[in-house]
A = this chain, B = another copy of it.
Amino acid sequence: MKPEKHLPGGAIPQASLRRLPQYHHYLVELEAKGVSRVSTSLIGRELNLVPVQVRKDLQYTGIVGRPKTGYEVKELIQTIESFLGWNNVNEAFLVGAGNLGTALLGHERFSRFGLRIVAAFDTDAAKIGSWIHDKAVLPLDKLPELAGRMGIHLGIITAPAEVAQSVADRMIEAGIQAIWNFAPVRLRVPERIFVHNEDLYSSLASLSWKLAARFHTGLRHESDDLAEPEPQRSVQE
């Protein structure tokens, strides 16, 4: 309970947190194939990561492996799921029933990872009252009352950038504790609120910068003209 250097129960680099679902995905594939044990070298080969890093990430979940054999696939899947909280359902409200909002509302597979979008909200009278993928589109004004009554603690913002902040404010008033923000704005929220930004423009920046750099430098690359020492390791993030 006292925050040590490495929090016993609860500190993990963001980067590791991002990789865990990738391990999970691969492990589920393995399980489907009937594989019962897996080593970090195998996972690493599949995901283009060095075994040490995989091992380190897995250690954060608290699982222990055995020399020579590695980890039990089933147990590892379970451990990751419970570590990520995918066992308990998080109910969420989504605000902004545009294109992106509609896509998320229709994403069935979220339910397998503990996320259930309960309803959508919008201010567009044309949308209010309609149903999108079996979820009702309600007037935004109703959000505070409903969130309180239903005990919703997760909000998803797919509204335009201009209104994202005000949407967030309302969510927080309504008692929402975490926000998944798809609007290209850095929300200003109190300390206790957790915000995860899904900024597509940031991603776009990586891509276009890379493409631009490629052309400017005439396809030049640090390692292009060297005999590559490591195997096939592609640039990803």
Contact = CB atoms under 8 A, between A and B. Distances in A.
Q: Give this chain's copy count.
A: 2
B196 A206 contact: yes
Contacts of A192: 221, 224
Interface residues of A, number: 89
Q: Which of A88, A180, A207 has the most chain B CB within a 10 Å cutoff?
A: A207
Interface of A: 1, 3, 7, 9-10, 12, 14, 17-22, 24-25, 46-48, 83-86, 88, 90, 98-100, 102-104, 106-107, 110, 113-115, 153-154, 161, 177-178, 180, 184-214, 216-217, 220-224, 226, 228-229, 232-237
Given A47-B186, A191-B232, 17 more contacts: A1-B226, A17-B209, A22-B186, A25-B201, A46-B186, A85-B212, A100-B107, A154-B211, A177-B211, A178-B207, A190-B234, A191-B223, A191-B234, A192-B221, A196-B236, A197-B236, A197-B237
